[in-house]
Amino acid sequence: MKEKYWDYFGPNGSGKSTTINCILSLLNFSDGEIKIFGKEMKPDAYDIKAKLGVVFQDVAVFEELTVYENIDYFCGLYIKDKKLRKQYIDEAIELVGLEEFAKFHPKQLSGGLLRRLNIACGIAHKPKLIFLDEPTVAVDPQSRNNILDGIKKLRDNGATIVYTTHYMEEVEIICDRVIILDKGKVLATGTCDELKELAKIEEKVTVEVNELDKKYIEGIKKFDNTDEVIYKNNALLVTYKKGKNNLVELMDYLKNENIKYNKIYSERPTLNDVFLELTGKELRD
């Protein structure tokens, strides 16, 4: 694997978790083959599995064990030397920021701390390839930042990471290569910048304006490069298909029509825009 950081993202039910389960030989697949480190992956490929770290969406720890004991158990499945294992456990606890909670039991931890413990259990043995399946779902902002910082440290320390999520901002922060999945099919793959080139829009301009008559919205829709105009909750969003002076044109229009606004800013298409274009904007279960 040349890339250090792959990310799979897609809507709910797109096949992200199923893909990981197939790669790990936890599910049967109908066609093709899977190789990891140049070897075919099978259910009994224990030499390969010893080099893998896996953190699933659902927290899987032992309630009767403390934080330290949980990490010790999972790390001990691979690291038999007690001195080395202690070093690895201490490093894992520090990585996820659980130093103050080493003697706590899982039931004493918040949801965010449980997620951190789950990650520590999966990576303590220092695997070369780590699978993280939506590790920041339903956690508080502090824990989320801690988890993302820890994942970046794992990457910087030499691990290759496969990361699934539907949080676009996480993808842009930490991922080298991205795959967009939907209904079990790969819709696009590339770097973040490469995927953004797939967007059908060139620019988005947002204007904070308290009141805007419908006639002005219709006027903006007549601009040569306008793709879509939406006015909602005192915010005017104008997307453009092309062009480089769209912001100036819009500001001139607002000035000429004597429309007062609080704030105006322009931005390039995001991964979220590409994601919605490729997978659709309808709600998913």
Paired residues of 207 in beta bridges: 236, 264
Residue 14 lies in a domain: yes
Paired residues of 181 in beta bridges: 186
Residue 94 lies in a domain: yes
* Distance between CA atoms of residues 9 and 132, nearest Å: 12
Q: Are residues 224 and 168 in the same domain?
A: no
Q: Are residues 105 and 143 in the same domain?
A: yes
DSSP the chain: ---SEEEEE-STTSSHHHHHHHHTTSS--SS---EETTEE--TT-HHHHTTEEEE-SS----TTS-HHHHHHHHHHTT---HHHHHHHHHHHHHHHT-GGGTT--GGGS-HHHHHHHHHHHHHTT--SEEEEESTTTT--HHHHHHHHHHHHHHHHTT-EEEEEES-HHHHHHH-SEEEEEETTEEEEEE-HHHHHTT-S-SEEEEEE-S---HHHHHHHHTSTTEEEEEEETTEEEEEESS-S-HHHHHHHHHHHTT---SEEEEE---HHHHHHHHH-SS---
Residue type, 212: L
Residue 208 lies in a domain: yes
Number of domains in the chain: 2
CA 125 to chain centre: 24
Residue type, 218: E
Q: Is 148 exposed, middle or buried (0-12, 13-18, 19+ CB in 10 A)?
A: middle
Residue with tokens 């949801």: 111
Residue 22 lies in a domain: yes
Q: Are residues 102 and 39 in the same domain?
A: yes
- What CATH number corresponds to the domain at position 257? 3.30.70.100
Q: Are residues 186 and 254 in the same domain?
A: no
Q: Are residues 125 and 210 in the same domain?
A: no
Q: Are residues 141 and 40 in the same domain?
A: yes
Q: Are residues 52 and 125 in the same domain?
A: yes
Last residue of a domain, one of 162, 196, 230: 196
pTM for the model: 0.79
Last residue of a domain, one of 152, 177, 196: 196
**pLDDT value at residue 1:** 39
Q: Are residues 107 and 133 in the same domain?
A: yes
- The domain in which residue 220 lies consists of 203-268
Residue 285 lies in a domain: no
Residue 264 structure tokens: 């105006």
Please state whether beta strands 52-55 and 203-208 pair in parallel, antiparallel, or not at all (unpaired).
unpaired
Residue 38 lies in a domain: yes
* Distance between CA atoms of residues 143 and 276, nearest Å: 27
Q: Are residues 52 and 157 in the same domain?
A: yes
Residue with tokens 């998913």: 284
- What CATH number corresponds to the domain at position 54? 3.40.50.300
**pLDDT value at residue 272:** 86
Residue 181 lies in a domain: yes
Q: Are residues 100 and 117 in the same domain?
A: yes
Residue type, 84: L
**pLDDT value at residue 8:** 63
Q: Are residues 157 and 255 in the same domain?
A: no
Last residue of a domain, one of 180, 196, 212: 196
Residue 249 lies in a domain: yes
* Distance between CA atoms of residues 108 and 65, nearest Å: 11
CA 254, 255, 256: angle at the middle one, nearest 5? 95
pLDDT in tens, the chain (285 residues): 344 556 666 667 677 888 889 999 999 888 889 999 999 999 999 999 999 999 998 999 999 999 999 999 999 999 999 999 999 999 999 999 999 999 999 999 999 999 999 999 999 999 999 999 989 888 888 888 988 999 999 988 899 999 988 788 888 888 899 999 888 888 999 999 999 888 888 899 999 999 899 999 999 999 999 999 999 999 999 999 887 789 999 999 999 999 999 999 999 888 888 888 888 866 565
Q: Are residues 190 and 224 in the same domain?
A: no
